[in-house]
Each structure stands twice: as structure tokens, then as C-alpha cells.
């Protein structure tokens, strides 16, 4: 994901750079950058809420089918596809907004992890030269190669003389780094590694205590947000929440894992997680207040009405076309006439050619046979084996 994170990271980096140019403080820049990027993602969050609400209303119907056709997987699949088409529901709709959010998140991490590149505009060649000098200072630290710029930033501030005269390192670059204000509240060095306060000789002042609090707060806020999100999910869609199972356990473990990570990384990472979780938590509360289940249900219905007036596309379009084609062959009539026949429950007798009125059960069986035939032909087209599970 390196290429993708950089591709998205550079445009976002200019936002971070612009904020820093105004406030000249890394801590404020991270906070405002988090707010801006969260606001950009609001439409995706709303879309995801609408999709989740639609699936929540749809789930009882789906569960009913699963119980009804528990012993007939192929029939269940057919009925599910028909139900999705009738309700105009895309089963992947609630997941699709997560994809751009995930890609966007990679770009955000790239900006936060690389302040030398995105805020100070130091070239790759210069960063590599600085990395060569700083590497021996962090020998054995597995995180240095993954996030070198944060470590380089701290190393230059602690021992600028070590970098002077090094191949590829200019005085202008060192001046940029030395003048970079990465102190939170004028006390906490966001380039320092929190676990370093446990080393011998540490002076236990406000800066040291603040440094320890950053990883703890990052995990605590994430944990609170997890409780809140799960509670809302259970209220909105209890069945889906129950099916999460081990995934829920993982969500509760992750905040504790992030505390451990935040103690080992420069404090800027933990501070960003605090800002991101806090802003995200506030955003969730506001969105849940505005987009109540009742309001979202109305929006979903409005969207469904709009979609009904548009021509269906994609897989369901092809599937319906295939059924219509099969109906046309079975009845020997036009596509428009098929719609009339299917709606009236009337079909043509193959021997006499006369129209015959079918009962509900007979019409259902007739439709099943048409679907089965369409599936068989589709399987033949792609060289697959077709098995009709409905046959005794």
C-alpha cells in the first residue's frame, strides 16, 4: 500500500502544511488536520449509516428465508436473489463506503508519519541521508525502518551536531528541523518515545507525565468509542451485532494493543490517535443525533423510490434479462406480453397453445422451473455443472 498511501498522502500533506504555516505548531496542526479530514469523510459516514439502516430493516426477511429453506441451499440462493431484486438492496452496500475510507486513512497515516516530507518539504534524498546518520542511534528498534522520519526528527533535535557535515545533509535542512515546533502545550515533545520515561535518570515533571498519558488516553478513548459504537449497533440491528461474535472481542482488544504500540512509537502517533478517536467519537454522536433510525429509514425509502424510477443495472439487470428471455421462450410471446402473463398468473399450454390460469402454488412452481432452466443454461455457458436441489 506504499504507492497508494503516498498517492493520497501528498494532496493531504498540503493541507497539513497549510495548517502548520498558519499556526506553526505540530500539535495544533494534527488536531485541525484530523477535524478537516473527518469532515471530508462525513458523506461516506452518512452513506454507510443509510446502508446499515436499510440492511437492518431487510435482515428479518432474509432470516425468514434462511429458516424456510435451511435444507435447500440452491433454493435459498434463488429466493435471496429475488428478494434482493424486489427490495432493490445491494448486500455489499454497507461495506462499499469503507473502501474509500480505508484508502483515505492510508493517506492520513502517510501525512502524520512523515512530517519531514509533508510539512517541512525535505526531499527523499535528504531524508535518506538523515536516515543513514540516525540509523545507528536506533539499532535494534524495529519501528525505525517503518517510520524513520519521526525518529529522525527527534534525533536531530537531541543531537544536531551529529548530523552536521554528513554527506547529503545541508545546514538548511537541519535549520528547518531544529525550528520545527513539535511541542504539545509547549511541554510534551511529540517526537519523544513515551517508554523512554522509564529509563534511569528521567526527571518526573509535567512533560514526562504528559508523555505517559498520551498512550493511555489513546487506548481509553478508543475503548469508549468501541463501547458506544457497539451499543448503537445492537440497538439498530441486534441480529447483525450478535453475528459479529469474535469480531467484537477483537474490537475490544485493539485499544489495549494500540496502547502498547503508542508507548513504542514517537508520541505524535499516539496524539494523532487521540485526536482521531475523539473527533470521530464526537462526529458519531452528532450524526446519530441527526440521522436517527427513523430519519434514516425515511431517507432509505426515498432512495428506494428514486431507484425504482431508474433502469436497473449490473448483475441483477442481466439476471432479470435472462429470466425474461426464458419466459419469452416458454410462452412464445413478446417481452411485454410476458409481463402481462406473469402478472395475471396465466401461461400457454405447450400442446394446445391455449392460455391456462394457474393457482398461486402452480405459478410459483412454474417460476421455479423457469429460474432453474435459466440457471442450467447459464451453467452450461460457462462450463459449470448444474445440480437441481429441488428434485427428489
CB atoms within 10 A of CB 181: 15
Domain chopping of the chain, boundaries: 314-381
Tell whether the model's pLDDT for residue 387 goes beyond 80.
no
Q: Find the mean pLDDT for residues 100-113.
A: 79
Query: CA 383 to CA 255: how far, in whole Å?
Result: 49
pLDDT given at position 294: 74
Query: Which DSSP string do the residues of 9-59 spell out, in sequence order?
Result: HHHHHHHHHHHHHHH--HHHHHHHHHHHHHHHTHHHHHHHHHHHHHHHHHH
Tens-digit pLDDT profile for residues 313-332? 454 555 556 556 655 665 55
Query: CA 129 to CA 169: how far, in whole Å?
Result: 6
Tell whether the model's pLDDT for residue 74 goes beyond 90.
no
Q: Find the mean pLDDT for residues 200-204.
A: 75
In the block, cell 557535515 appears at 165
Tell whether the model's pLDDT for residue 382 goes beyond 70.
no
Predicted confidence band at 334 (pLDDT cuts at 50, 70, 90)? Answer: very low
- Residues 6 or more apart whose CB falls under 8 angstroms from that of 147 comprise 113, 265, 266, 269
Tens-digit pLDDT profile for residues 244-269? 555 667 777 888 888 988 898 888 88
pLDDT given at position 378: 63
Q: Of 123-132, 134-143, 240-249, which one has max mean pLDDT?
A: 123-132
Tell whether the model's pLDDT for residue 5 goes beyond 50.
yes
Q: Find the mean pLDDT for residues 85-104.
A: 68
Ranges 154-163, 177-186, 362-371: which has the least confidence: 362-371
Q: Find the mean pLDDT for residues 128-137.
A: 93
Amino acid at each position: 500500500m506504499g504507492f497508494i498511501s503516498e498517492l493520497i498522502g501528498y494532496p493531504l500533506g498540503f493541507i497539513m502544511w497549510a495548517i502548520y504555516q498558519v499556526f506553526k505548531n505540530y500539535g495544533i496542526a494534527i488536531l485541525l488536520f484530523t477535524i478537516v479530514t473527518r469532515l471530508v469523510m462525513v458523506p461516506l459516514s452518512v452513506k454507510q449509516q443509510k446502508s446499515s439502516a436499510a440492511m437492518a430493516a431487510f435482515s428479518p426477511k432474509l432470516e425468514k428465508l434462511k429458516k424456510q429453506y435451511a435444507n435447500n441451499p440452491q433454493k435459498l440462493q434463488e429466493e435471496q436473489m429475488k428478494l434482493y431484486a424486489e427490495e432493490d438492496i445491494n448486500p455489499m452496500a454497507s461495506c462499499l463506503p469503507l473502501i474509500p475510507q480505508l484508502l483515505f486513512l492510508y493517506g492520513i497515516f502517510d501525512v502524520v508519519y512523515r512530517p519531514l516530507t509533508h510539512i517541512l518539504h525535505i526531499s527523499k534524498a535528504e531524508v535518506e541521508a538523515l536516515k543513514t546518520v540516525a540509523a545507528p542511534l536506533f539499532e535494534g528498534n524495529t519501528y525505525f525502518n517503518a517510520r524513520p522520519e519521526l525518529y529522525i526528527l527527534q534525533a536531530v533535535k537531541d543531537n544536531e551536531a551529529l548530523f552536521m557535515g554528513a554527506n547529503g545533509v545541508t545546514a538548511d535542512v537541519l535549520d528547518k528541523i531544529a525550528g520545527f515546533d513539535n511541542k504539545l502545550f509547549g511541554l510534551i515533545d511529540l517526537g519523544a518515545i513515551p517508554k523512554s520515561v522509564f529509563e534511569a535518570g528521567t526527571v518526573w515533571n509535567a512533560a514526562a507525565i504528559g508523555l505517559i498519558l498520551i498512550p493511555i488516553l489513546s487506548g481509553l478513548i478508543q475503548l469508549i468509542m468501541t463501547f458506544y459504537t457497539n451499543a448503537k449497533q445492537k440497538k439498530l440491528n441486534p441480529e447483525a451485532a450478535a453475528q459479529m461474535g469474535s469480531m467484537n472481542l477483537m474490537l475490544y482488544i485493539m485499544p489495549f494493543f494500540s496502547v502498547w504500540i503508542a508507548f513504542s512509537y514517537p508520541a505524535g502517533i499516539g496524539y494523532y490517535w487521540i485526536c482521531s478517536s475523539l473527533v470521530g467519537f464526537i462526529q458519531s454522536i452528532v450524526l446519530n443525533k441527526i440521522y436517527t433510525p427513523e430519519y434514516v429509514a425515511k431517507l432509505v425509502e426515498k432512495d428506494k423510490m428514486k431507484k425504482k424510477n431508474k433502469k436497473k443495472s449490473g448483475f441483477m439487470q442481466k439476471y432479470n434479462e435472462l429470466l425474461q428471455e426464458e419466459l419469452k421462450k416458454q410462452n412464445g410471446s413478446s417481452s411485454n406480453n410476458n409481463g402481462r402473463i406473469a402478472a395475471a398468473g396465466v401461461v400457454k399450454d405447450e400442446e394446445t397453445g391455449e392460455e391456462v390460469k394457474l393457482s398461486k402454488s402452480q405459478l410459483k412452481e412454474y417460476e421455479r422451473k423457469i429460474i432453474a432452466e435459466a440457471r442450467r443454461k447459464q451453467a452450461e455457458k460457462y462450463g459449470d455443472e448444474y445440480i437441481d436441489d429441488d428434485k427428489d
